[in-house]
Amino acid sequence: MKIDFEQVTVPVPTPETAHFWSGCVAGELRLQQCDDCSRVYFPPRPFCPDCGQRAVSILCGSGKARLLSYVINHRPHPAFDGPYAIAVVELEEGVTMMANILNVPQTPEALILDMPLKVAFRPIRQGIVLPYFEPDGADL
Amino acid sequence: MSAAKVAIVGAAETTALGRIPQMSQIQLHADAALNALADAGLTLKDIDGVATAGESPTAVAHYLGIAPNWVDGTAVGGCSFMLHVRHAVAAIESGLCQCVLITHGESGRSNVGRAGWASSPGSLSGQFESPFGGMGPTTLFTLPVLRFLKDTGTTLEQLASVAVIQRQWAALNPRATLKEPTSVEAVLEDRMIAYPFTKSQCCLVTDGGGALILVAAERAKDFPQSPVYILGSGESTETPMISQMQDLTRSRAFQMAGARAFETAGIQHSDVDHLMIYDAFAHLPLYGLEDLGFCGRGEAGAFIASGQTAPGGILPLNTNGGGLSYMHSGMYGMYALQESVRQVRGTAAAKVAGVEISVCHGVGGMFGASGTVVMSASKVR
């Protein structure tokens, strides 16, 4: 699978999410953790969605994840050169996020649920770097 | 024992369903509303409450020339109309208004006078989901299912059987879009849309509308049709982002709305004669049967595949053919409600004998919201 980064929808950071996107540029997967109840959460917001506490800190995720679920889209999309998987991964820290899975055939035979993954940052454009994932141990 | 305070006394869909390029979206609302008024023997002057989604209640009330005492513009996707029913019950019961019109109209296929919907690139879904190539419900609503299949031991064949069984119901319904019998093999071999979903496991894209009229239960016998009493209801929301579901194999919103509906209606699962579960895709009846408690964990696939929800089965489900075979304009909840009304009235095309209790369960967004309505042929139960 090839991704045409010119055709990828570009996220527009907000004040609440800017740390996440600057983290991607720095090669860090920045999550947030409640100072009070220690809950790790995503997507970003300046308070804990569990207890409402505003005192929260940035936590750099390990980048390790597992493949939770996915579909393989067969309809044409300008950013992808053929059928491509849209996945939800679960990070080691327990939060989930959407991603594409790089460096692996986009087939049910190759994409096995629960397979170990690691984050793979790719610059797209307008200063945005996206967090993708790839099999842990894949050739870079 | 529970006693209904409010009843549905008027219910109708648009005159045509399917492809209606000669009508704008707002006119689909109006066409359905006028049909529902005729069904109830009422005129526009009798309506003092308006609820709708997709268009604003301001626009619908103005278009129809209604000066409302109460409006509800709750818009949480395709189950918005279930929530409107619930809110209308509360409004009528507390005296905010007396006669509520709930409308739906959607030019889903022809796109005449229809506003588009896309996430802003600065929204959370715009930032954290859109870059990865999701193309609307076919690729996002479907995303949890592989996890569901693995964790529950449900098979692809059982998932495909949902479409097969619903086609059996559609075959009994002259207004259904697709009526030709199909098979598990044919469903699995159909064109792949988003693995593991083939075209047959994705909803139709059609034009249409529907409307409901509700009044206090004590007035309900004064209307031409048999009243359909609202015995109980529930609603909830979970997340606007599929990637942020608490558990990809369960809908928290389904569980909360369903439990509340059963509790307020004072019914058990064994009391339910007829069931509608909003089926934008084939996995939704599986989630619905398990999250509402009709089936245990991992049992819904076998329950459907073995014919329990088919014509002649013990739990008739999606008897109009559902979003997969009847019609799906985008916000299908209104059509599920219409079929529940028809079954309780005894006027459905694929009539289930002796329906006393119908449960109508809707989803909004992509597992984002949910509404459940319990309808009854009797005021007191």
Residue B47 lies in a domain: yes
Q: Which residues of B touch A75 (CB under 8 A)?
A: 135, 138-139, 193-194
Q: Which CATH class is domain A62-140?
A: mainly beta
pLDDT of A27 over the 60 cut = yes
Q: What is the per-residue pLDDT for A139?
A: 46
Interface of B with A in 260-319 (CB under 8 A): none
Amino acid B118: pLDDT: 65
**So what's the pLDDT on residue B120?**
82
Range of the domain at B216: 6-113+203-376
Phi, psi of B147 (to 5 degrees): -65, -40
A124 touches chain B (CB under 8 A): yes
A43 and B130: CB-CB below 8 Å? no
Helix, strand, or coil here: A86? strand
For tokens 């929800």, the residue is B309
Give me chain A's average pLDDT, please.
Answer: 95
Q: Please report the pLDDT score of residue A132 as a whole number.
A: 98
Number of domains in chain B: 1
Taking CB atoms and an 8 Å limit, are B135 and A77 in contact across chains?
A: yes
Helix (H, G, I), strand (E, B), or coil: what is residue A50? coil
Q: Does A8 touch chain B (CB under 8 A)?
A: yes
Q: Which residues of A touch B121 (CB under 8 A)?
A: 9-12
pLDDT digits 0-9 by tens, A65-96: 999 999 999 999 999 999 999 999 999 999 99
Look at A12 and B120 and tell me if their CB atoms are within 8 Å: yes
Q: Supply the pLDDT for residue B381.
A: 82
Q: Does B193 touch chain A (CB under 8 A)?
A: yes
Q: In which residue ranges of chain A is CATH 2.40.50 found?
A: 62-140
pLDDT along chain B (381 residues), means of 10: 92 96 91 96 96 94 91 96 98 97 94 72 90 94 98 98 98 97 98 98 96 97 97 95 96 97 97 98 98 98 98 98 97 98 98 98 96 96 82
Domain of B360: which CATH number? 3.40.47.10
| Residues in chain B within 8 Å Cβ distance of A113 | 146-147, 150
Residues of B in contact with A99 (CB under 8 A): 132
Query: Does A12 contact B127 at a Cβ distance shorter than 8 Å?
Result: yes
Residue B121 to residue A12, Cβ atoms within 8 A: yes
Within-domain flag for B282: yes
